[in-house]
């Protein structure tokens, strides 16, 4: 008898109640089903084209538990190759990143070009007439697509195209990407893990409610030590115009806040003023204000987060129901002065990642949630905040967006209703309060 996942989510919009059964965070059967239906039927982020500057450039990744190579072939095309030798299984890529003309399996020496074609086999006389090298390329995912340099793959051959998959999230992704003519991933990545279910990090990545409580050390102590004022960050929780959480289509979601002031040098402020003037010339004042006047965290279902304030891309997978692995990168404007690049990078790593002021706080909270789930007498987690008012980023509509889509993946008879319509157009969202 197949497992039933009915009842894991309760969505009572009339009474403003939404809850998730904690079995969702601990049951190995749930995770197996997630592999098949959540991760197996979505577009999954692999990397950014800027990580492959030249023909032959490659990076090794793990996507949906599969080792993959993202490589720019000799003709300049970005390809995704599954990293398993068609001979007997060994991975053929030993370096995390680099440049090469070929991948040679070090077990028996089969060698592949950057298109993944088998080009040589040691002692080929050992094979009979039916053996044709053409029949042994590295396998590839059924679907690969790129949006503005962001490379995605899907394990589902008949999935909708990537832009259709984004739906209204595309407008918010464009708000993030239009900041700069050209962006690039800064070499290097943050890789860390936590003893927590992966969905706790989905929630946490779009959770404004916890910010001032969990990260008091950063927002109050650190900001004031740098010469800033914690007052500038209070908008994170205040119900003011422009502070909002939005349920987008298909499980995607976004939170936005009028941006807090960051302490910075006169030179940096002058540079950013120039950038803003250029953006206004190109996009007009209103759209520019939408771009740079707000911090936003954009969640693309099922496991991709853009943290605009920190210019960060983050993705993660469960290794088991109570353990998750995270990778994150800095996506910064290309060609800015070194001091500005450094400022943006410092901003990222001083809050996010294992050495930041923010991430260790989140890890502490999430690992303790997971410990708390051992109390089986407490069956439910409440995610109903803000169901009966225009939502702010410190409400939980964005998490409900995720959970509705997630539940539909596990329990297809569930037909989720969106709580509120998505704002008509991105540029029409209320402007920030007067400075």
Q: Cβ closer to Fe ion: 242 or 356?
A: 356
Question: Cβ 219 to Fe ion, closest distance in Å?
Answer: 10
> Please, which of residues 115-154 interact with ligand FES by CB under 6 A?
none
CA 129 to chain centre: 48
Among ligand FES, Fe ion, none, residue 85 binds (CB under 5-8 Å by kind):
ligand FES
Nearest to 203 by CA among 429, 36, 370, 347: 370
Residue 142 C-beta-side C-alpha neighbours within 13 Å: 12
Residue 152 interacting partner from ligand FES, Fe ion, none (CB closer than 5 to 8 Å by kind)? none
Rg, the chain, Cα only: 23
Q: How far is the CB of 68 from ligand FES (least distance, A)?
A: 16
Q: Which residues pair with 327 in a beta bridge?
A: 191, 315
Residue closer to ligand FES, measured from CB, 135 or 413: 135
Q: CB–CB of 165/43 below 8 Å?
A: yes
The binder of 105, among ligand FES, Fe ion, none, by C-beta within 5 to 8 A per type, is: ligand FES
CB-count burial class (<10 Å; 0-12, 13-18, 19+) for 247: buried
* Closest distance to ligand FES from the beta carbon of 92 (Å): 7
Q: Which listed residue (41, 90, 100, 431) binds ligand FES by CB under 6 A? A: 90
Instruction: Identify which of residues 18 and 103 has a Cβ nearer to ligand FES in the complex.
Output: 103
Least distance CB 94 / ligand FES (angstroms): 12
Closer by beta carbon to ligand FES, 127 or else 380: 127
Residue 107's binding partner among ligand FES, Fe ion, none (Cβ under 5 to 8 angstroms by kind) is ligand FES
> Binding segment for ligand FES among 64-72, 102-110, 247-255, 388-396 (CB under 6 A)?
102-110
Q: What does each C-alpha distance from 231 to 149, 259, 364, 425 come to in angstroms? A: 37, 12, 26, 30
The closest residue (CB) to Fe ion is 362
* Pattern 7-36, ligand FES, x by CB under 6 A: ------------------------------
Span interacting with ligand FES, options 21-29, 104-112, 165-173, 256-264, rule CB under 6 A: 104-112
Under the phi-then-psi rule, with left for phi > 0, alpha for psi from -120 to 50, and beta for the rest, what region is 208?
alpha
Nearer to ligand FES, 36 or 108 (CB): 108
Per CB under 6 A, does 85 bind ligand FES?
A: yes
Binds ligand FES by CB under 6 A, chosen from 105, 206, 300, 330 = 105
By CB under 6 A, residue 88 contacts ligand FES: yes
Residue 70 makes CB contacts below 8 A (sequence gap 6+) with 46, 47, 51, 52, 58, 59, 61, 78, 79, 80, 151
Which CB contacts under 8 angstroms, 24+ apart, belong to 60-69? 60/93, 60/95, 60/96, 60/97, 61/327, 62/317, 63/153, 64/35, 64/39, 64/40, 64/155, 64/317, 65/35, 65/317, 67/91, 67/93, 68/141, 68/153, 69/93, 69/103, 69/138
Query: Per-residue x/- marks for Fe ion, 345-364, CB under 5 A?
Result: -----------------x--
Choose which of 65, 107, 127, 380 interacts with ligand FES (CB under 6 A): 107
- Of 108-116, 234-242, 299-307, 365-373, the segment contacting ligand FES by CB under 6 A is 108-116
Q: Which residues bind ligand FES (CB under 6 A)?
A: 85, 87-90, 105, 107-110
Q: Which residues bind Fe ion (CB under 5 A)?
A: 362
């Amino acid at each position: 008898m197949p497992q039933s996942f009915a009842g894991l989510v309760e969505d009572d919009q009339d009474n403003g109640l939404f809850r998730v059964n904690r079995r969702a965070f601990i049951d190995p059967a749930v995770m197996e089903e997630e592999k098949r239906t959540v991760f197996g039927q979505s577009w999954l982020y692999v990397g950014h084209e800027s990580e492959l500057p030249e023909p032959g450039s490659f990076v090794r990744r793990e996507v949906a538990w599969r080792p993959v190579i993202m490589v720019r072939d000799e003709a300049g095309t970005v390809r995704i190759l599954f990293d398993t030798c068609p001979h007997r299984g060994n991975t053929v890529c030993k370096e995390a990143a680099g440049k090469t003309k070929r991948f040679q399996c070090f077990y028996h020496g089969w060698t592949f070009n950057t298109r993944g074609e088998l080009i040589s086999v040691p002692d080929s006389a050992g094979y009979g007439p039916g053996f044709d090298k053409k029949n042994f390329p590295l396998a590839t995912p059924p679907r690969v697509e790129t949006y503005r340099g962001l490379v995605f793959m899907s394990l589902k051959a008949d999935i909708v195209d990537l832009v259709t998959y984004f739906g209204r999230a595309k407008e918010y992704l464009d708000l993030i990407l239009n900041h700069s003519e050209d962006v690039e991933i800064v070499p290097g990545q943050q890789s860390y893990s936590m003893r927590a279910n992966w969905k706790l990090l989905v929630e946490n990545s779009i959770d404004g409610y916890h910010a001032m409580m969990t990260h008091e050390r950063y927002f109050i102590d650190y900001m004031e030590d740098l010469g800033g004022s914690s007052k500038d960050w209070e908008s994170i929780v205040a119900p003011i115009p422009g502070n909002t959480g939005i349920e987008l289509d298909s499980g995607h979601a976004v939170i936005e806040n009028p941006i807090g002031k960051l302490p910075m040098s006169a030179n940096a402020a002058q540079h950013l003023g120039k950038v803003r003037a250029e953006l206004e010339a190109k996009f007009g004042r209103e759209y520019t204000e939408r771009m740079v006047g707000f911090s936003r965290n954009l969640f693309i279902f099922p496991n991709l987060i853009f943290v605009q304030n920190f210019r960060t891309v983050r993705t993660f997978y469960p290794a088991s129901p109570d353990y998750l692995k995270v990778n994150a990168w800095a996506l910064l404007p290309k060609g800015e002065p070194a001091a500005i690049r450094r400022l943006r990078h410092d901003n990222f790593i001083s809050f996010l990642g294992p050495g930041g002021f923010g991430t260790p706080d989140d890890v502490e909270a999430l690992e303790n949630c997971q410990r708390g789930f051992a109390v089986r007498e407490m069956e439910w987690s409440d995610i109903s905040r803000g169901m009966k008012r225009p939502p702010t980023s410190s409400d939980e509509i964005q998490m409900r967006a995720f959970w509705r889509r997630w539940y539909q993946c596990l329990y297809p008879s569930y037909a989720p209703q969106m709580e509120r319509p998505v704002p008509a157009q991105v540029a029409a969202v209320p402007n920030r309060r007067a400075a």
